[in-house]
Structure 1
Amino acid sequence: MILEAVLAGNLQQVRMLVDRSDLEVRDGQGRTALLLATRADNVEIARLLIEAGADVNARDAIKDTPYLYAGAEGRDEILKMILATGRANLKDTNRYGGTALIPAADKGHPSTVRLLIAAGVEIDHVNNLGWTALMEAVILGDGGPVHQEIVGILVDARARQIPDRDGITPLEHARRLGFGEIAERMVSGPR
C-alpha cells in the first residue's frame, strides 16, 4: 500500500504504486501519502506525488494539509513544489486559525516567510488567539537574529501593528520583552 511505502521512504515502491493507487487514501489520523512525505521532508517522494496530482490541500484529523505543514515547518523544497502547482489554498488555516505564514514566522523560518509572502499569503491575517505573524514572531520568538530577520521581512512587506486582544501592539511586546533590535526595526519601518 502506498502509505506504507511513503512511511518507509521507499521511492521505488512509491513510483510503482503511484499510478495504480488512490493518492488520497488516509491513515488512521487522516493523513494522505503527500502529507506523510511532507512531514518526513522526503522531497523526492513528495515531488512524485505532487506531479501525480496529489491534493495539496487535503486535511488530516488536526486540520493540517501538505501546504500548511510545509509552510509551518519550513519544508521549503516541498513548499516551492506545492506553490508551483497553483493549487495551494493560500487562505487555508490550521487548527489555530492561522495561515501558513504565522507558524513559519514564530518557528523561525525566514526563507519560508519570504516564499509565503511572495506567493500572496495575507500578511496581516489574525488567528484564533488574536495574533498575526508579526505578533507571533515577537511573542513566540527569542528576539535573536533569526526572529530579527523575520520581523524585518514582515516590516518590509508592510505588516501592520495590529494589537492583541489586550490592545498591546507587537512593538509594545518587543519593548516589554527587551527585544531592542526588533523594536528598533519595527520603528524604522519598511526599507
Structure 2
Amino acid sequence: MKRFRAALVIAAVGFLLSACQAGPPAPQAESAPASSVPQPIPEQPTPELPSPEQPPTAAPAPPPAPALSAGEQAQLDQELIAAAKANNAPLVAALIGRGGNVNARDAIQDSAFLYAGAEGFNEVLRLTLAAGADVSSTNRYGGTALIPASEHGHVETVQILIAAGVPVNHVNNLGWTAMQEAILLNNGGPHQLEVVRLLLDAGADPDIRDPEGRTAHQNAERLGFAEIAALIRSRG
C-alpha cells in the first residue's frame, strides 16, 4: 500500500514539473487584414496599333459624256475645223475633249488635221494626231497633208508628218509627190532644200515623174535650184 501511494505522488510531481516547463500556449497568428492581401492585377487591354496607312482610293472616273445627236456632232465637228483654221489650239483641245472628230470634213474637204498640216499649225497638228487623225487621208486635190506642207517649206511640220507615218511617195491628182511640189511650187531656198533632204531621208523616191515626164532632179535643174539638184544627185 505504501508503495502504491509513493508511485502516485511521484507521478503527480512529474506532471506538475512538465507543465511548468512547457510555458503558456503560443498565441494564434492573426490573419492579415483583407486590404493587405495582394490582389491580382486586372489584365489591361492591349492597345490597338495604328493600321498601316492605306493608299488613297482612286477617284471614280467621270461619267461618260452623253451621246450627241447626229446634228450636234456635225455642229461640233464644224466648230473644230473652224478652230483649227483659226490656229486656236486651246479651243481645238476643248472641242476634241467634247468629242470633236479630227477627221470630219467641211464643205471643201478640209479636216482639222489636213488643214493644220498644210498650213504648219504645229500645235493644232499635234493635238489632231494625238486624237487619232488619219495620216493617210487626202484633201480635195487628192494629196496628203505632207504634200502642201512640203510645198510651203514647213520644215518642222514635215518632220512631224513623216514621224507620224504619212506616206512620202503619195501622188496627188495633179500628178505630183511631196518632193515635186517642194521644188515646183516654191523658190528653192533653204527651207525647200531642208524639206527635200527630210523627204530623201524618209525614203522618198526622186525618180517618180510628174505629168510632163520630169523627175524631181530634172525639175530642180530646170528651175535653177542648184543646191537641191546637187542634193538629189548625191543620193544617186
TM range (shorter): 0.7 to 0.9
Which of 103, 119, 131 is residue 57 of structure 1 equivalent to? Answer: 103
Conservation of the 8 A alpha-carbon contact between 1:110 and 1:146: yes
What is the aligned partner in structure 1 of residue 163 from structure 2? 118
- Give the CA deviation at 1:53: 2.1
Runs of 4+ aligned residues of structure 1 deviating over 6 Å after TM superposition are 18-21
Aligned ranges 1:21-40 → 2 under 5 Å: 22-25=72-75, 32-40=78-86
Aligned length: 168
- Say whether 1:189 aligns with 2:231: no
What is the aligned partner in structure 2 of residue 79 from structure 1? 125
Unaligned runs of 5+ in 2: 1-64
Which of 71, 87, 93 is residue 138 of structure 2 equivalent to? Answer: 93
- Give the CA deviation at 1:137: 0.1
Aligned partner letter, 1:82: T
Change (3 A) 1:188 1:37: same
CA RMSD across the alignment: 1.9
- Give the CA deviation at 1:183: 0.7
What is the aligned partner in structure 2 of residue 167 from structure 1? 213
Deviations 1:133-158 (A, max 9, x none): 00000000110111111111111111
- Give the CA deviation at 1:78: 0.7
Change (3 A) 1:109 1:19: farther
Conservation of the 8 A alpha-carbon contact between 1:104 and 1:112: yes
What is the aligned partner in structure 2 of residue 109 from structure 1? 154
Unaligned runs of 5+ in 1: 1-17
Conservation of the 8 A alpha-carbon contact between 1:23 and 1:49: no
Percent same amino acid among aligned pairs?
A: 49
Compare CA radii of gyration and give the structure with the larger one: 2
Question: 2: CA distance between counterparts of 1:52 and 1:111?
Answer: 28
Instruction: Normalising by structure 1, report the TM-score.
Output: 0.83
Conservation of the 8 A alpha-carbon contact between 1:24 and 1:55: no
Question: 2: CA distance between counterparts of 1:113 and 1:19?
Answer: 37
Corresponding residue SS for 1:159: coil
Aligned partner letter, 2:105: R
